[in-house]
Amino acid sequence: MGLQLIPYDTNYNFVAKKNIIFGILIAIALLCLGSIFFQGFNYGIDFKGGLLLEVRTKEAADVAKLRSDLSGLVHGEVTLQEFGGPNDILIRVERQPGGDKEQLAALAKIKEKLGTSVDYRRVDSVGPKVSEDLIRNGIYAVIWALVAMLIYIWFRFEWQFGVCSLITLAHDALIVLGLFSIFQLEFNENAIIAILITITYSINDTVVIYDRIRENLRKFKKMPLRDLINRSINETLSRTILTSTTTLLALLGLYFFGGPVIAAFSLPILVGIGAGTISSITVSAPLLLHAHLRRDQILETSENNEA
């Protein structure tokens, strides 16, 4: 016999609390916006250009000596950071003024200085053209994902559902962006992956709830919308929580046991999926109350879709 994690007769009144919930979520969203606006992002070399070297030294690395060796050798700031262990050092060099050629020249200088005393585990050099492309592609990817989801929901349901889900998704994307800004996590292509996974995951939860709302609209033709939405959220609550739990468990495995690269990759997805689940339950459905839903229209299209 399995475990009933969420009692089947759970009936929490999400809709009645919606103003409090909306208030909290808006406050968090504003905090994220504020941080993005005032603090900005800690762009990684994917988006900013520059050099990144991960080197392993034979003995515990003398960071201070390495730093003094390298600074002055190239333009701009050189940052060194221990990465995983005392022998592993991450060296970041700002994008060099000029073009791609200056960038490669700087890399050659650093390699000449370090010589064969270290093992080069990773060497990345991203020039201005590529970083511009990557940033543009990242922005396009997020915008197109939002548009695609809007169209999908519009097509499957009604435009009101589409708009409500879009607001929810924008909120989720903002939370992920806020995470990167507030904690100054390295903002690179992984951030784009995190945002897209968050969006698709959040839309899943939203679709499941919307599906149930439509089903209940057909079943309970007289029930007030407010009660109907609340009933639908509660009926799907068990599924929503369980699915998120399995995904979050998989991500926790990645975060704690995957080493620094995978951990940095999975943390924003972890937060995004958590935020997406909460917003699907507390925002996407209650928002429908403000969207001037017309029952007759919904029933009509849903019958067409079934046919």
> What part of residues 253-292 is at the interface with another protein (CB under 8 A)?
253-254, 256-259, 261-262, 265-266, 269
- Count interface residues toward another protein (CB under 8 A): 75
Least distance from C-beta 262 to another protein, angstroms? Answer: 6
Least distance from C-beta 129 to another protein, angstroms? Answer: 5
CB closer to another protein, 1 vs 64: 1
The contact pattern for another protein, residues 146-175, with x = CB under 8 A and - = no contact, is: --xx--x---x-------------------
CB closer to another protein, 35 vs 213: 213
CB closer to another protein, 187 vs 201: 201
Q: What own/partner pairs with CB < 8 Å and gap ≥ 24 does 106-112 have?
A: 106/51, 106/73, 106/74, 106/75, 107/51, 109/73, 109/74, 110/51, 110/53, 110/70, 110/73, 110/74
CB closer to another protein, 101 vs 294: 101
Using the rule CB under 8 A, which residue among 160, 230, 232, 247 binds another protein?
247
Please answer whether residues 47 and 127 qualify as being in contact, where contact means their C-beta atoms are separated by less than 8 angstroms: no
Using the rule CB under 8 A, which residue among 3, 37, 59, 292 binds another protein?
3
Least distance from C-beta 31 to another protein, angstroms? Answer: 26
Least distance from C-beta 292 to another protein, angstroms? Answer: 24
CB closer to another protein, 128 vs 286: 128
CB closer to another protein, 43 vs 201: 201
CB closer to another protein, 33 vs 104: 104
Residue 71: beta bridge partners? Answer: 74
CB closer to another protein, 18 vs 54: 54
Least distance from C-beta 124 to another protein, angstroms? Answer: 5
Binders in 16-75 for another protein, by CB under 8 A: 46, 54, 56
Q: Are strands 78-83 and 118-126 parallel, antiparallel or unpaired?
A: unpaired
Binders in 111-150 for another protein, by CB under 8 A: 111, 119-127, 129-130, 134, 137-138, 140-141, 144-145, 148-149
CB closer to another protein, 18 vs 80: 80
Q: Should residue 242 be labelled a site residue for another protein when binding is judged by CB under 8 A?
A: yes
Binders in 170-199 for another protein, by CB under 8 A: 189-190, 192-193, 196-197, 199
Three-state SS string over the chain comes to CCCCCCCCCCCCCCCCCHHHHHHHHHHHHHHHHHHHHHCCCEECHHHHCEEEEEEEECCCCCHHHHHHHHECCECCCEEEEEECEEEEEEEEECCCCCCHHHHHHHHHHHHHHHCCCEEEEEEEEECHHHHHHHHHHHHHHHHHHHHHHHHHHHHHCCHHHHHHHHHHHHHHHHHHHHHHHHCCCEECHHHHHHHHHHHHHHHHHHHHHHHHHHHHHHHCCCCCHHHHHHHHHHHHHHHHHHHHHHHHHHHHHHHHHCHHHHHHHHHHHHHHHHHHHHHHHHHHHHHHHHCCCCHHHHHHHHHHHHC
**Candidate segments 57-65, 72-80, 252-260, 293-301, binder of another protein by CB under 8 A:** 252-260
